[in-house]
Amino acid sequence: MTLRRRIAMSASVVALIGSTVAIAPTAAAHSSAPAMTASWNQTTSLGGPIRKCYAASCDAVVQTYSGEWLDWDHYATNGSGNRWYYVRYSFGSGIPHTVYGWIYCGNVTAPC
């Protein structure tokens, strides 16, 4: 392999790594993936959707109903000044399902 080809390949790899690093923080800000946590706090749903990000305009992942248990890890305040909790919600009979996402503080018994 010539020196010119090695330099071109190295530049491509550096550009690829740089673009991945630049994208990651933006994706994490509105992520619905599970976050690393030391402990979860329990709260009760008052009914409402769990969303993909912490804004009412984000797609709903699943609907919760009043009285169901949710676990929350942390919260965020969006640009409108609304508090949203990052939650873990397990449901289903037979084969249980667990989803992660954001729920508006007015839809849970945790402080708003």
For residue 44, give the amino acid letter.
T
CA distance 96 to 81: 34
Copy the structure tokens of residue 48: 């409402």
**How many CA atoms, within 13 angstroms, populate the side-chain half-sphere of residue 72?**
21
Per-residue model confidence (pLDDT) at position 95: 87
Please name every residue paired with 45 in a beta bridge, in sequence order, or none if there are none.
108
pTM over 0.85: no
Q: Are 44 and 67 in contact (CB under 8 A)?
A: yes
Question: pLDDT, tens digit, for every residue of 18-60?
Answer: 333 333 333 344 444 444 555 899 999 999 999 999 999 999 9
CA distance 31 to 26: 9
